[in-house]
Chain A
Amino acid sequence: DADVTQTPRNRITKTGKRIMLECSQTKGHDRMYWYRQDPGLGLRLIYYSFDVKDINKGEISDGYSVSRQAQAKFSLSLESAIPNQTALYFCATSDVQGPGGKLFFGSGTQLSVL
């Protein structure tokens, strides 16, 4: 089984719908991250969490919210999806408590907003 699991793998939704992308991990890491990947832009940080009570915005948090339900679970929500949120979304965990940690990524969720 994968150490970082994202569901669903693919999702098509309509403009204005609320959707949730889920991430769970078995690595026992405290730090979790949500990134989105767009062609030509690389990966950009949406939100990150150091533990259940510590959630922080990344560079592109507008239009997104997150929930850290447990150490192992970190969900990303799009409150009202719009077409420019079409992207590949990755959840990741980090292997250290400080900077320089290696990120372990899930397989990604391809989201299409029509």
Chain B
Amino acid sequence: AQKVTQAQTEISVVEKEDVTLDCVYETRDTTYYLFWYKQPPSGELVFLIRRNSFDEQNEISGRYSWNFQKSTSSFNFTITASQVVDSAVYFCALSETRYSGNTGKLIFGQGTTLQVKP
């Protein structure tokens, strides 16, 4: 069955530290998509990245980077030189193709709360 696990419930770091948020997924599909969303204290959900299962290249966007490894079914998210504004809940999500039909629905992990202290 499809599943997304974010084992880290809460992480606390001091500003300028690097932090990695873990995401492990389960799917029977060979074609699927992975996402990260950020939920700041204001509550809205902000899209960060979408990656399809055929693209295992790591991606970097400013202080953010993502490491996708199909061999371990992981899609981890690293924030370099964290800042207080990075404090938020971060969600990893999976979108299947074949086994969820054509729904386009996202299966979310439980979320990781990141607190960055000044």
Contact = CB atoms under 8 A, between A and B. Distances in A.
Interface residues of A, number: 30
Interface of B, secondary structure class, is loop
Interface in B61-118: 91, 93, 95-97, 100, 102-106, 108-111
A102 B110 CA distance: 19
A88 B49 CA distance: 23
Interface in A78-103: 88, 90, 92, 94, 96-103
Contacts of A45: 105-106
A8 B118 CA distance: 34
B58 interface: no
Nearest to B97: A99
Interface residues on B, range: 20 to 34
B16 interface: no
Nearest to B113: A39
Interface string A94-114: 101111111111111010000
A98 B102 contact: yes
Contacts of A103: 45, 47, 106
Interface string A33-67: 10100001111110010000000101000000000
CB-based closest 10 A-B pairs: A42-B108, A100-B33, A105-B45, A43-B108, A99-B97, A101-B104, A42-B110, A94-B104, A107-B44, A108-B43
Interface of B: 4, 6, 9, 32-33, 35, 43-45, 47, 50, 52, 91, 93, 95-97, 100, 102-106, 108-111
